[in-house]
Amino acid sequence: MQHLYAQRRNALLEKLNSGTAIFRSAPMAVMHNDVEYAFRQDSDFFYLTGFNEPNAVAVFAPHHEEHQFVLFVEPKDLEKEIWTGYRTGVEAAKEKYGADEAFSIEELDEKLPEYLQNADRIYYRLGRDEGFNNCVIQHWRKLLATYAKRGTGPVALEDPSPILHSMRLVKTPEELDLMRKAAKIAVEAHNLAVEVAKPGRYEYEVQAEMERVFALHGGSPAYPSIVASGGNACILHYVENRRQMKDGDLLLIDAGCSYGYYNSDITRTFPVGGEFTPEQQAIYDIVLEAQKQAIACVLPGTPYNEYHDVAVRVIVEGLLDLGLLSGDLDEIIEEEKYKPFYMHKTGHWLGLDVHDVGTYKQDEESWQILQPGNVLTVEPGIYISPYVKPVEGQPEVDAKWHGIGVRIEDDVLVTEEGCEVLTEGVPK
């Protein structure tokens, strides 16, 4: 794997020109009081280094004579390691992770100026940690103060994300291996869920069985699993998962697996008792058709928005047929009168982050064009909350539709020829 990180670093270094880039690891996150969550590395930091510890900083200085890639890490400290786990330490970090030089994180303030003073700009994305933002800004301020004397130094602070995130948008074969594995595990979990979800069982039982599958394969939930039966399916981020399921309910499960930090994201909706009611069937058929037609637009060379627009059109046509909307198709779409039933987008980029990085638009006018190696979700839905308020002029919703929520979500890779659905192993 190390050669992959080196390739990514070289691609980044080439694009930095005379700038110096600073990336910071994720911090240890606190769950409550001093109890910590399992550590999850920052995705950008991991993508460039493969280094999986908190309290580290990576510096990229293509113009430096000796050290283009420098790591600052926690030093070895056997006493602390007994509590928090083993650390790679400075020496091994340099060797194992291919850094040209490595230092203790405690030396950051002392060493950083050497890598910044001849750069024409600092590439750093201001993050949530104000303390670290301040650290970077203070270094910059000091160099600005001596710029006149030296005639060199950074005169701009720039976000490195446009460079790095356009790289992350195109997955390499090695990344796709991990994404396929994350997809395969989640497929197995969803197929098991259909067996477990029966009238009388609880939503959390389904969640437990699915997350057991993730764990058995060395994975973990990619995000809080949504197991939403009955009217809960109309709450987009329902994660309580406490309800007892009943015959006649639909069950919406949105659960994905994280494996090697890469994610899958799958939603299926099915009747707990095995049979759709006519209303549930009607809504399901529309969503399924919307998804089918949306997936058919996932092709290289297609603008990003196209699959959403196609899904919206199919959904609006279907809701017009059922009398849940009325009026002119184009006007309903134009004025977004469908939004009480379909309020989210049809998908997002997928990768190291579930809602992965990368822009959706090239500029104000034009959308990103799909290219081989992009991975995205296709997830149309229809939600008819009991509290639904149709927009003015639209029909009142008959109670027989209340509480029906359907979403179908797959993970789709753009290929040279078209696309590959990574999660097609779960029936629809």
> Should residue 223 be labelled a site residue for ligand GLY when binding is judged by CB under 6 A?
yes
Q: Within 10 A of 289 (CB to CB), how many other CB atoms are there?
A: 16
Catalytic residue (choose from 195, 237, 331, 363): 237
What is the distance, to the nearest Å, from the Cα of residue 269 to the centroid of all Cα atoms in its chain? 22
> Should residue 265 be labelled a site residue for ligand GLY when binding is judged by CB under 6 A?
yes
The nearest distance, CB 309 to Mn ion, in angstroms, is 18
Q: Which of residues 376-395 bind ligand GLY (CB under 6 A)?
A: 379
Shortest-Cβ-distance residue relative to ligand GLY: 254
Per-residue x/- track, 326-365, ligand GLY (CB under 6 A): ----------------------x-----x-----------
The nearest distance, CB 240 to ligand GLY, in angstroms, is 16
- Sole window of 12-20, 89-97, 318-326, 377-385 interacting with Mn ion (rule: CB under 5 A): 377-385
Nearer to Mn ion, 41 or 346 (CB): 346
Nearer to Mn ion, 74 or 409 (CB): 409
Contact present, 61 and 119 (Cβ < 8 Å):
yes
**Residue 237 bears catalytic tag:** yes
Catalytic residue (choose from 101, 203, 254, 411): 254
The nearest distance, CB 224 to ligand GLY, in angstroms, is 9
Catalytic residue (choose from 44, 53, 101, 379): 379
Residue 56 backbone phi and psi in degrees, to 5: -130, 155
Q: Which two tokens stand for residue 319?
A: 């809701």
Contact present, 368 and 360 (Cβ < 8 Å):
yes
- Sole window of 73-81, 170-178, 183-191, 405-413 interacting with Mn ion (rule: CB under 5 A): 405-413
Catalytic residue (choose from 40, 63, 217, 348): 348
- List the one residue from 101, 175, 249, 254 that touches ligand GLY (CB under 6 A): 254
- List the one residue from 117, 374, 377, 423 that touches Mn ion (CB under 5 A): 377
Nearer to ligand GLY, 42 or 254 (CB): 254
The nearest distance, CB 226 to ligand GLY, in angstroms, is 7
One-letter amino acid of 418: G
The DSSP H or E segment spanning 221 is strand 220-221
**Residue 410 bears catalytic tag:** no
Residues 6 or more apart from 181 whose CB is under 8 A from it? 217, 259, 260, 262
If you count them, how many residues does the chain have?
A: 428
Q: Is 382 helix (H, G, I), strand (E, B) or coil?
A: strand
- Helix runs in 197-321, H state only: 203-216, 278-296, 306-321
The nearest distance, CB 344 to ligand GLY, in angstroms, is 8
> Should residue 205 be labelled a site residue for ligand GLY when binding is judged by CB under 6 A?
no
Residue 213 backbone phi and psi in degrees, to 5: -60, -45
Q: Which residues bind ligand GLY (CB under 6 A)?
A: 223, 254, 265, 348, 354, 379, 409
Residues labelled as active-site residues: 34, 237, 254, 265, 344, 348, 355, 379, 383, 407, 409
